[in-house]
Structure 1
Amino acid sequence: MKKIIYISGILTLFVFMSFMTLDFFSTMTKVDYVDGSKTLKFTTKMNTSHISDAIKINRSTAGFEAEVKKYVNNNFDVYVNNSPKTLTFTGSQISGETVWVYFETGGVTDVSTLKIKNTLLLSAFPKQINLVNIAYKGAQKTMNFQRGKEVNEVSF
Structure 2
Amino acid sequence: MNFKKLLLLIAVILPLCAFTAHKYYFSVTQADYDAKSQSLKIVTRVFYDDLQKVFQERYDKSIRVDASYDQQKLDGYIKRYFEQKFIVTVNGEERSIHYLGHKDEVDYVVCFIEVENIKNLKTVSIENTLLMDLFPDQKNVVHLHAGTTKKSFLLTRENDKAVLKLSE
Scaled by the length of structure 2, the TM-score of the pair is 0.78
Partner Cα separation in structure 2 for residue 136 and residue 119 of structure 1: 22
After TM superposition, give the deviation of residue 18 of structure 1 in Å: 4.5
- Supply the RMSD in Å over aligned alpha carbons: 2.1
Partner Cα separation in structure 2 for residue 67 and residue 96 of structure 1: 20
Partner Cα separation in structure 2 for residue 65 and residue 80 of structure 1: 25
What are the superposed Cα offsets for residues 116-153 of structure 1, whole Å, 9 maximum, x if unpaired?
21110000101000011011102111122111222232
Partner Cα separation in structure 1 for residue 36 and residue 163 of structure 2: 24
Q: Decide whether the 8 Å contact of 1:135 with 1:141 is kept in 2.
A: yes
**AA matched with 1:47:** F
Unpaired runs of 5+ residues, structure 2, are 1-10, 57-62
Report the secondary structure of 2:118's partner residue: coil
Q: Decide whether the 8 Å contact of 2:127 with 2:161 is kept in 1.
A: yes
Partner Cα separation in structure 2 for residue 105 and residue 77 of structure 1: 11
After TM superposition, give the deviation of residue 34 of structure 1 in Å: 1.0
Which stretch of the first structure deviates more once superposed, 63-72 or 32-41? 63-72
Mapping for residues 4-153 of structure 1, pairs under 5 Å: 17-19=15-17, 20-21=19-20, 22-56=22-56, 57-59=63-65, 60-62=68-70, 63-153=73-163
Percentage of matched positions with identical amino acids? 22
Q: Decide whether the 8 Å contact of 1:28 with 1:130 is kept in 2.
A: yes
Unpaired runs of 5+ residues, structure 1, are 1-12
After TM superposition, give the deviation of residue 15 of structure 1 in Å: 7.8
Partner Cα separation in structure 2 for residue 98 and residue 65 of structure 1: 15
**AA matched with 1:149:** N
Report the secondary structure of 1:37's partner residue: coil
Q: Decide whether the 8 Å contact of 1:44 with 1:101 is kept in 2.
A: yes
Aligned match of 1:4: none
Scaled by the length of structure 1, the TM-score of the pair is 0.84
Q: Decide whether the 8 Å contact of 2:87 with 2:94 is kept in 1.
A: yes
Q: Decide whether the 8 Å contact of 1:30 with 1:43 is kept in 2.
A: yes
Relative distance call for 1:14 and 1:111 in structure 2 (3 A) is farther
Q: Decide whether the 8 Å contact of 1:31 with 1:41 is kept in 2.
A: yes
Q: Decide whether the 8 Å contact of 2:75 with 2:101 is kept in 1.
A: no
